[in-house]
Amino acid sequence: MNGLQTTNDAILIQDDHPLLSRAGMNYAVFPSDYQQIRYFTLLLVKQSRPRSDERLLLEQQVSELIKNAVKHGNKSDPAREIKVWYRFTRTEARLIVEDQGSGFADIEKWNLFNKKRLEYIDKQDFEALMSYASWRTKKSDPYDGGNAMFAALEYWNRGVVYTSKRNTVAVGKLFDENPMETEEEE
């Protein structure tokens, strides 16, 4: 562990969390155009400076947050906008995404589901884990499964935080600038 990592086993709901501070961040507004999510992502991360081995993971995570806002928050309605605050440096990535939807109503249920999922992973009880492989609700389409949120909790080591309105999510990641070498030079 590099001292920068934290354990994130749950999505937080906390209006005054430091990750929700917009101070010193860049700002962009995008229409909820599902076809342009990749383009919006590239516009945001083009100035990011993590190591090259981190850049693709960062792009994937940013894309998933934008996709959730467009698809689930704004129902892919191009008349609705998503607002994004972002800051990327060599040592840190921060992102706040706000949509015009009604919010992620089931955060508490999702957290309980994920807690059970993590318990079964820790116990290596793969038979029981099968019931917790994907998060689905009555509103889920065949392509939904909660995998983006599972990955978000693992990737964003400073946390995943929603406002009490639940239509704004903030995330943060600290990068390790000096990773330990895994292979010795011969």
Question: Residue 83: which of 169, 21, 171 has the closest Cα?
Answer: 169
Which CATH number belongs to the domain containing residue 141 in this structure?
Answer: 3.30.565.10
State the alpha helices, DSSP H only, in 25-92: 37-45, 52-68
Q: Is residue 133 part of a domain?
A: yes
Q: Is residue 2 part of a domain?
A: no
Q: How far apart are CA 19 and CA 174, in angstroms?
A: 12
First vs last C-alpha separation in the chain: 26
> For residue 177, what pLDDT is reported?
66
1-10, 13-22, 63-72, 84-93: segment of lowest average pLDDT: 1-10
Q: Is residue 84 part of a domain?
A: yes
37 or 4, which is more confident = 37
Q: How far apart are CA 94 and CA 70, in angstroms?
A: 19
Contact status, residue 32 vs residue 84, Cβ threshold 8 Å: no
Q: Is residue 183 part of a domain?
A: no
Q: Is residue 1 part of a domain?
A: no
Q: Is residue 7 part of a domain?
A: no
Q: How far apart are CA 66 and CA 70, in angstroms?
A: 6
> For residue 3, what pLDDT is reported?
37
φ/ψ region of 181 (left if φ > 0, alpha if ψ in -120 to 50, else beta) reads beta
Contact status, residue 89 vs residue 49, Cβ threshold 8 Å: yes
pLDDT range class, residue 86, cuts 50, 70, 90: very high
Reported pTM: 0.88
164 or 184, which is more confident = 164
pLDDT range class, residue 4, cuts 50, 70, 90: very low
Q: Is residue 185 part of a domain?
A: no
> For residue 135, what pLDDT is reported?
85
Q: Is residue 3 part of a domain?
A: no
Q: How many domains does the chain have?
A: 1
Residue 84's domain comprises 12-174
> For residue 134, what pLDDT is reported?
86
pLDDT range class, residue 178, cuts 50, 70, 90: low
> For residue 7, what pLDDT is reported?
54
Residue 43, pLDDT > 70, answer: yes
Q: Please state, in angstroms and as integers, the Cα–Cα distance from residue 30 to each residue in 44, 77, 142, 144, 181, following that order.
A: 11, 11, 26, 23, 40
